């Protein structure tokens, strides 16, 4: 019986969490479309999200692109269609791997950073101090972070996609695939539809990462230890959330496109 009670208790807290997150999201959306707007904070956050994540995104995309290409090129060579590497790379990177990979890398960095920062502000009464000074903390802290990630993540995804594809071309070269035929395949299948499938997802991921991270920071309790717990939860929710969102987005988009 205690087991069942514990499970019910856990279920209830998850439901309450979802409810609270929904309210937080609604509040954030409302704040997005009203003044004042904190431009300086937004630019600062954009710099932190975009420039700060650039190097790790580029490196991981290049390495992951190569790893994928090595797997593909062997199978393709066995079937005698090595020349299709560009085609396969662009489809798998732009439509599937790129957005998720870049989303995960950015999530691990930004979720932790945002939740820890806001959680520390919560535990040192800085959020209350903002309210006391007449500032809406959602407008001041959450909105700039959401906007920054909504701009940064798609941009980083484009760069990550490009680096992964370039990495694939390099692998092709090692397997004696001429660079021209690789890129011919790449550009032939870099169609608006394929781009659409890949580029809708980063917007959804960005909103997910930013809102969950801020929410966990706002709700963190119990000092430094509490901030640690919230930070962990924030990274986990964002990572799992990206995979789930990816699945849902892919199905939805495929249905919309009639594929």
Partner 1 sequence: MIEFRHVDFSIDGNAILRDVSFSVARGRTTVILGPSGSGKSTILRLLLGLYHPDAGSIFVDGVDVTHINASRWREIRSRMGMVFQQGALFDSMTVGENVGYALLEANGDDEVEVAPAVRHYLELVGLDPYLIDRMPDQLSGGMQRRVAIARALAARDPMILLYDEPTTGLDPQSAERITDLIVQLRDQQGKTAIMVTHDIPDAFKVADAMTILEQGRVVFEGSPDALISVSTPFINQFLAPFRTAMGAASRRFEAATRRGAPPRTDPQRGGTP
Binding site for partner 1 (CB under 8 A): 36, 40, 117, 120-121, 124-126, 128-135
Nearer Cβ to partner 1 (3/132) = 132
Tell me whether residue 61 or residue 138 sits nearer to partner 1 (CB atom).
Answer: 138
Residue nearer to partner 1 on the CB measure, 126 or 239:
126
**In angstroms, rounded to a whole number, what is the distance separating the alpha carbons of residues 156 and 78?**
34
- Which tokens in the block code for residue 11? 């279920």
Kindly tell me which of 40 and 176 has the beta carbon lying closer to partner 1.
Answer: 40
Q: Angle of helix 143-174 relative to helix 98-123, nearest 10 degrees?
A: 150
Residue 128 CB, nearest approach to partner 1 (Å)? 5
What's the rounded Cα separation, in Å, for the pair 105 and 18?
24
Length of the chain: 259
Q: Report whether 203 contacts 256 (CB < 8 A).
A: no
Shortest spacing between CB 194 and partner 1, in angstroms: 41
| Smallest distance, partner 1 to C-beta of residue 113, A | 12
Question: What is the rounded CA–CA span in Å between residue 212 and residue 232?
Answer: 12
Q: Which is nearer to partner 1, 73 or 121 (CB)?
A: 121
Q: How far is the CB of 207 from partner 1 (least distance, A)?
A: 23
Smallest distance, partner 1 to C-beta of residue 239, A: 26
**What is the torsional sign of CA 26, 28, 30, 32?**
negative
**Alpha-carbon span 257 to 259, nearest angstrom:** 6
């Amino acid at each position: 019986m205690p087991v069942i009670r514990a499970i019910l208790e856990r279920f209830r807290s998850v439901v309450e969490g979802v409810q609270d997150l929904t309210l937080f999201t609604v509040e954030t959306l409302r704040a997005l479309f009203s003044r004042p707007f904190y431009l300086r904070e937004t630019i600062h956050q954009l710099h932190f999200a975009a420039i700060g994540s650039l190097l790790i995104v580029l490196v991981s995309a290049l390495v992951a692109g190569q790893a994928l290409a090595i797997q593909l090129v062997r199978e393709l060579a066995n079937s005698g269609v090595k020349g299709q590497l560009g085609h396969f790379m662009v489809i798998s990177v732009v439509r599937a791997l790129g957005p998720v990979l870049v989303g995960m890398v950015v999530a691990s960095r930004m979720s932790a950073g945002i939740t820890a920062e806001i959680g520390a502000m919560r535990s040192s009464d800085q959020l209350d101090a903002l309210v006391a000074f007449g500032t809406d903390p959602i407008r001041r802290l959450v909105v700039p972070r959401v906007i920054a990630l909504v701009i940064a993540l798609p941009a980083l995804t484009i760069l990550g996609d490009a680096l992964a594809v370039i990495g694939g071309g390099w692998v092709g070269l090692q397997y004696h695939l001429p660079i021209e035929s690789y890129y011919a395949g790449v550009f032939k299948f870099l169609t608006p539809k394929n781009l659409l499938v890949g580029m809708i997802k980063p917007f959804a991921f960005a909103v997910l990462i930013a809102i969950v991270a801020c929410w966990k920071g706002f709700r963190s309790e119990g000092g430094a230890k509490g901030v640690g717990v919230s930070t962990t939860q924030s990274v986990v929710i964002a990572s799992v959330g990206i995979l789930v969102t990816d699945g849902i987005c892919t199905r939805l988009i495929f249905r919309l496109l009639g594929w």
